[in-house]
Amino acid sequence: MNIRSPLQSLQGRLLIASAVILPIVLLIAGLALSKAYHSSLENSVRDRLQLQVYLLLGAVELKEDHILFPERLQEPRYEQINSGLYAAIHDQEGNILWRSLSSVLLDDPQLSEVINLSGLTTGEPRFEHLEEAQLYRFQLRIIWETAGKEKSFLFTVMESDDLVIRDIQAYNQQLTAWLGIIFLVALLAQTFILSWGLTPLRRLAKDLKAIEAGKAEKLKGLYPDEVEPVTTNLNGLIESERKQRERYRNTLGDLAHSLKTPLAVMRGAELEEHELHTYQSLVSEQVERMDQIVQYQLSRAVKSQNKPLGKAVPVEPIIERMLSALGKVYRNKNVVTETSLSENLTFFGDERDLMEVLGMIMENAFKYGHSQVAISASQSDRELKITICDDGPGVTPEMRQVILQRGARLDTSIQGQGIGLSVATDIISSYQGQIEVKDSPLGGACFVIHFPS
């Protein structure tokens, strides 16, 4: 069993890429949000501790060298031991002037170490997170003037970081859960978007299968702007391949039709000729002609529909050669031929094309005519005109365009494929020429060929 890898699918590749990249993006976003929330909490703690310092400043009084506090402060946590909120006031020598009841479990050396009396200028607040002590600290040094003397005091307020850590942990848990949900929703949305976005490609594959199965001839319907150039080119390729296949099929029929005359000449020679040398010469000539026909038809199968390039080809020798060959094929009919050809008739193109056209139309004249065939040709600066007439049953006006189509025949009692005139029409059209069917002065049909000069 052949197992396909997800990487062989565009949708699989995009989904795998999303599954790899999206968690990285969400992780970066989560870290940024967590850091922003942490910073917001610390700013809130800073503002809260700063407010506590201002409340202490408003509550204390300076009397000589002593600081007086009211019996009860507005913040009850100062009165609760180990409440998590601590406060202390030091003088400029570092001696403790006051400390909250909540800080009694902190001995003086420990409190002094936590408070950090050094490196603080007057009026400049300092806020820090002491990770080892698990405390946030806010300090402010002020100067009071009393009895004409200035004295410096350091106000310190500290708060445990337990609440901040718990908030951050709770926030990170919720953030992780929501980011996980966002990841799943985004992945499902990406799957839906990819499935919807790749629908035109799946429809394109389905339409191509329909064409392959013969249920459709080309890609139809509206496709997105990005896919439409592909469908347009595919339709062009399909049409080109169809025309090429049709050209090959027609060429096989044309080849069989073209070989009929040389074979008929050889068959007639075998029955009529008694001299071996003459028969061998005739067979050699017709075999060479058949080889030319095969090469010609193969070249027609692959050449484009543009006007062929060629040199000036004398017309009269080709007409005489065709008359000689057809006279042998239809010897039993005793057809009388009459020619009226202007001098220096010239066809500008491939000699094989002219032989193919004249051979097919002249053979029809011999085949359907009773006893007379007349051929005339003239040339002007603009065109070469060749007229081939017979005394056969003729062609009615309503059938004159029909017989120029492939497979169309008026007389089904006579053997043939009905493709000769259509091949001749194709060749004439490739030279931007025309072919007309008229009434013949002899009583039958008259084919008039116009080639541009």
What's the first-to-final CA gap in the chain, in angstroms?
Answer: 67
Q: How confident is the model at residue 289 (pLDDT cuts 50, 70, 90)?
A: low
Better pLDDT: 333 or 421? 333
Both tokens of 155, joined, read 């106000």
- Is the predicted pLDDT of residue 45 greater than 80, yes or no? yes
Q: What is the mean pLDDT of the chain?
A: 80
Could you write out the three-class secondary structure of the chain? Answer: CCCCCHHHCHHHHHHHHHHHHHHHHHHHHHHHHHHHHHHHHHHHHHHHHHHHHHHHHHHCEEECCEEECCCCCCCHHHHCCCCCEEEEEEECCCCEEEECHHHCCCCHHHHHHHHCCCCCCECCCEEEEECCCCEEEEEEEEEEEECCEEEEEEEEEEEECHHHHHHHHHHHHHHHHHHHHHHHHHHHHHHHHHHHHCHHHHHHHHHHHHHHCCCCCCCCCCCCCCCHHHHHHHHHHHHHHHHHHHHHHHHHHHHHHHHHHHHHHHHHHHHHCCCHHHHHHHHHHHHHHHHHHHHHHHHHHHCCCCCCCCEEEECHHHHHHHHHHHHHHCHHHCCEEEEEECCCCEEEECHHHHHHHHHHHHHHHHHHCCCEEEEEEEECCCEEEEEEEECCCCCCHHHCCHHHCCCCCCCCCCCCCCCHHHHHHHHHHHCCCEEEEEECCCCCEEEEEEEEC
Q: How confident is the model at residue 439 (pLDDT cuts 50, 70, 90)?
A: very high
Q: Above pLDDT 90, what percent of the chain?
A: 28
Both tokens of 259, joined, read 């070989």
CA distance 262 to 275: 19
Residue 410: what pLDDT? 46
Residue environment code for 63-79, b if the CB has 16+ CB neighbours within 10 A, otherwise e: eeeebeeeeebebebbe
Better pLDDT: 291 or 14? 14
Residue 287: what pLDDT? 63
Q: Count of CB atoms within 10 A of residue 301's CB?
A: 16
Q: How many CA atoms lie within 13 A of 333 on its CB side?
A: 20
Determine which of 67-81, 245-259, 358-372 has the lowest per-residue pLDDT on average: 245-259
- Is the predicted pLDDT of residue 168 greater than 90, yes or no? yes
Would you say 77 and 83 are in contact if contact means Cβ atoms under 8 Å apart?
Answer: yes
* pLDDT, tens digit (0-9, with 9 covering 90-100), for 100-125: 888 887 665 556 565 666 666 777 88
- Bridge partners of residue 385, in order along the sequence: 378, 450
- Is the predicted pLDDT of residue 176 greater than 70, yes or no? yes
Better pLDDT: 244 or 205? 205
Q: Which range, 46-55, 64-73, 226-235, is most confident?
A: 46-55
Would you say 346 and 451 are in contact if contact means Cβ atoms under 8 Å apart?
Answer: no
Residue 309: what pLDDT? 53
Both tokens of 308, joined, read 């062929």
- Is the predicted pLDDT of residue 130 greater than 50, yes or no? yes
Would you say 365 and 425 are in contact if contact means Cβ atoms under 8 Å apart?
Answer: no
Stretch 197-212: mean pLDDT: 83
* pLDDT, tens digit (0-9, with 9 covering 90-100), for 397-415: 888 887 777 544 444 444 4
Q: How confident is the model at residue 417 (pLDDT cuts 50, 70, 90)?
A: very low
Using alpha carbons, select from 344, 275, 352 the residue that is nearest to residue 321.
352
Residue 127: what pLDDT? 92
Q: Count of CB atoms within 10 A of residue 157's CB?
A: 26
Both tokens of 312, joined, read 């000036």
Using alpha carbons, select from 318, 304, 302, 323 the residue that is nearest to residue 353.
318
